[in-house]
């Protein structure tokens, strides 16, 4: 058995954290566990929950890149964490190889009859990135995506290099595209599933070489392709012309709730805790096939589970229309050293007291400070904390001066509930929250 790897120095915000590159946040060290193909066994999930309980503060996050994050560790907890993750097969050999393993895999692969089973290709890509020293010059956050289509597709996820399965004879091939979503990425050709790791490595080497040849070159693929075009990539061995290739198969996305082959459950703000993770692992073992799939939607899929009764008691959300999934809030006092309010609890209070405003996606933003990490742009209603109190504003960003400053959390919720009542009473059908709030006169407010 290999020795557990050594950690890098804990990093401040702005980096892409890992296990070997823990990040300092407000509640201690945060570690991000990269899970190959996003597939955890129930036994792995149970052990990770136990590690979070023993070594961290018990909080677990689901990241937008389909990884698990443990929170609240300290430096003394890292060596036992590494030893345990190594025994689970979830520890990279070193910081550099961990950093490049940013592979997002369609979470319903192998479960969704409308999509192709891309699990083997995704695992092969992850292994190649971990082993190939020539790809270690990739820029931070450089990402890969492997998608089999169907109802659990990743068409809207943006990344640096995407492999989308398309029908090819009796099987499938991958449509390879650079820098964006399925709609915006620049296609460069087709590759066979078995050839994917080699094509990926060639793309990585070309990206590194093109950047090295240009001062101030963009750090991400979309920008580089805008500057240089995609010709150097399209000429790589292993790619064949797209010509008459079939389009990727996309069905209307249906992930949450009881689906054909899995039960999908989301958690507001992507926040779990070790008890819930442990309970989900038990559910996967008792009712499913002993697996948990990670998604980029801050949700989990439980393959083979067909009864959501126990999920509601765990605070899980099965209905994609649930207003709790529309809220935006940063970590606040629970996970950031700048935060002074419980942003998650206050946002959930708004879901109860201001349901009409909260139902509009992105309309309600609760920020732990004026930085507005979770949503830097304006929102219909923004609560911005300062020294334990909130400023409330409409159609504004967290960085601005609030129209109603210095409110206690309860007063801020009352203020938004009053705006919600106006919206429900006066807004014409179909008028959005932002448009309605913009029409209110000072006397209304
Ligand atoms: S907005 Fe402020 S409180 Fe919230 S995560 Fe960012 S820095 Fe921390």
Task: Give 26 Cα–ligand 1 centroid separation in angstroms.
Answer: 9
Task: Give 330 Cα–ligand 1 centroid separation in angstroms.
Answer: 6
Half-sphere exposure of 227 (CA within 13 A, CB side): 15
Tokens linked to 58: 């018990």
Question: Which are the contacts of 256, defined by CB distance < 8 A and separation ≥ 6?
Answer: 264, 265, 266, 299, 317, 318, 319, 320
DSSP secondary structure letter of residue 365: E
Task: Please report the pLDDT score of residue 313 as a whole number.
Answer: 86
Beta strand extents in 210-311 (DSSP E only)? 257-259, 262-266, 271-273, 291-294, 299-303
pTM of the model: 0.90
Q: Which residue has the tokens 């025994």?
A: 87
Task: Please report the pLDDT score of residue 4 as a whole number.
Answer: 47
Opening angle at CA 162, ends 159 and 168, nearest 5: 160
The rounded distance, in Å, linking the Cα atoms of 281 and 33 is 17
Nearest atom of ligand 1 to the alpha carbon of 343: 4
Tokens linked to 286: 């008792």
Ligand 1 lining (C-beta closer than 6 Å): 330-332, 336, 338-339, 367-369, 371-373
Tokens linked to 415: 């203020």
Task: Give 242 Cα–ligand 1 centroid separation in angstroms.
Answer: 45
Question: Which are the contacts of 321, defined by CB distance < 8 A and separation ≥ 6?
Answer: none
The rounded distance, in Å, linking the Cα atoms of 302 and 325 is 19
Nearest atom of ligand 1 to the alpha carbon of 368: 3
Tokens linked to 73: 């560790």
Nearest atom of ligand 1 to the alpha carbon of 374: 1
Domains of the chain: 23-97+255-313 (3.90.480.20), 108-234 (3.30.413.10), 323-444 (3.30.413.10)
The rounded distance, in Å, linking the Cα atoms of 255 and 264 is 6
DSSP secondary structure letter of residue 15: B
**Which residue's C-alpha comes closest to atom 4 of ligand 1?**
368
The rounded distance, in Å, linking the Cα atoms of 86 and 281 is 20
The rounded distance, in Å, linking the Cα atoms of 160 and 92 is 22
Which of 30, 71, 334, 336 gets mutated to test ligand 1 (max ligand atoms within 8 A of its CB)?
Answer: 336
Burial letters 362-371, b for 16+ CB under 10 A, else e: ebbbbbbbbb
The answer to whether 251 and 114 have CB atoms below 8 angstroms apart is yes
DSSP secondary structure letter of residue 79: H
Nearest atom of ligand 1 to the alpha carbon of 13: 7
Nearest to 144 by CA among 349, 296, 297: 296
The rounded distance, in Å, linking the Cα atoms of 220 and 138 is 9
Burial of residue 309, with CB atoms counted within 10 A of its CB: 0-12 exposed, 13-18 middle, 19 or more buried? exposed
Task: Give 72 Cα–ligand 1 centroid separation in angstroms.
Answer: 16
Point out the residues of the chain with pLDDT beneath 70. 1-15, 361-362
The rounded distance, in Å, linking the Cα atoms of 352 and 70 is 28
Main-chain dihedrals φ then ψ at residue 176, nearest 5 degrees: -100, 130
N- to C-terminal Cα distance for the chain? 66
pLDDT tens per residue across span 144-171: 999 999 999 999 999 999 999 999 988 9
Task: Give 299 Cα–ligand 1 centroid separation in angstroms.
Answer: 23
3-state secondary structure of 210: helix
Nearest to 76 by CA among 22, 32, 25: 22
Task: Give 374 Cα–ligand 1 centroid separation in angstroms.
Answer: 8
Which of 365, 368, 385 gets mutated to test ligand 1 (max ligand atoms within 8 A of its CB)?
Answer: 368
Task: Give 371 Cα–ligand 1 centroid separation in angstroms.
Answer: 6
Which of 340, 346, 371 gets mutated to test ligand 1 (max ligand atoms within 8 A of its CB)?
Answer: 371
pLDDT tens per residue across span 8-17: 555 555 568 9
Task: Please report the pLDDT score of residue 2 as a whole number.
Answer: 43
Helices and strands, number each (H, E), in the chain: 13, 20
Task: Please report the pLDDT score of residue 1 as a whole number.
Answer: 39
Count of other CB atoms within 10 angstroms of residue 407: 18
Task: Give 135 Cα–ligand 1 centroid separation in angstroms.
Answer: 33
Chain CA centroid to CA 103, Å = 12
CA dihedral (157, 159, 161, 167) in degrees, to 10, reads 0
């Amino acid at each position: 058995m290999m020795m557990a790897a050594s950690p890098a120095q804990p990093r401040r915000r702005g980096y892409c954290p890992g296990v070997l590159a823990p990040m300092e946040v407000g509640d201690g060290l945060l570690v991000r566990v990269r899970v190959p193909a996003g597939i955890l066994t129930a036994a792995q999930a149970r052990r990770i929950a136990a590690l979070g309980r023993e070594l961290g503060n018990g909080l677990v996050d689901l990241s937008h890149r389909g990884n698990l994050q443990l929170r609240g560790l300290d430096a003394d907890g890292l060596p036992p964490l590494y030893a345990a993750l190594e025994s689970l097969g979830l520890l990279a050999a070193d910081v550099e190889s961990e950093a490049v393993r940013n592979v997002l895999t369609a979470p319903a692969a192998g479960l969704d009859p409308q999509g192709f089973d891309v699990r083997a290709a995704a695992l092969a890509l992850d292994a190649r990135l971990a082993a190939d020293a020539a790809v270690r010059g990739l820029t931070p956050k450089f990402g890969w995506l492997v998608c089999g289509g169907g109802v659990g597709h990743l068409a809207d996820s943006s990344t640096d290099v995407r492999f989308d399965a398309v029908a090819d004879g009796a099987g499938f091939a991958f449509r390879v595209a650079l820098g964006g979503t399925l709609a915006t990425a620049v296609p460069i050709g087709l590759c066979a599933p078995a050839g994917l790791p080699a094509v990926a490595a060639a793309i990585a080497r070309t990206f590194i070489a093109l950047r090295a040849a240009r001062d101030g070159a963009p750090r991400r693929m979309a920008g580089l392709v805008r500057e240089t075009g995609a010709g150097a990539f399209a000429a790589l061995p292993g790619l064949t012309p797209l010509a008459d290739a079939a389009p990727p198969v996309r069905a209307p996305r249906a992930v949450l709730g009881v689906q054909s082959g899995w039960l999908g459950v989301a958690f507001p703000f992507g926040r779990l805790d070790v008890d819930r993770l442990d309970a989900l692992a038990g559910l996967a073992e008792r009712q499913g096939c002993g697996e948990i799939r990670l998604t980029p939607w801050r949700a989990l899929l439980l393959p083979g589970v067909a009864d959501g009764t126990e999920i509601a008691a765990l605070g899980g959300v099965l209905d994609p229309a649930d207003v709790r999934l529309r809220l935006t809030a940063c970590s606040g006092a629970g996970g950031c050293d700048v935060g002074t309010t419980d942003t998650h609890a206050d946002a959930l209070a708004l879901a109860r007291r201001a349901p009409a405003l909260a139902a509009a996606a992105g309309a309600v933003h609760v920020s732990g400070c004026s930085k507005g990490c979770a949503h830097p742009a304006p929102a219909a209603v923004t609560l911005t904390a300062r020294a334990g109190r909130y400023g409330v504003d409409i159609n504004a960003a967290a960085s601005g001066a609030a129209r109603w400053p210095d409110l206690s959390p309860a007063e801020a919720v009352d203020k938004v509930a009053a705006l919600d009542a106006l919206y429900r009473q006066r807004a014409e059908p179909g008028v959005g929250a932002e448009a309605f709030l913009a029409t209110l006169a000072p006397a209304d407010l």
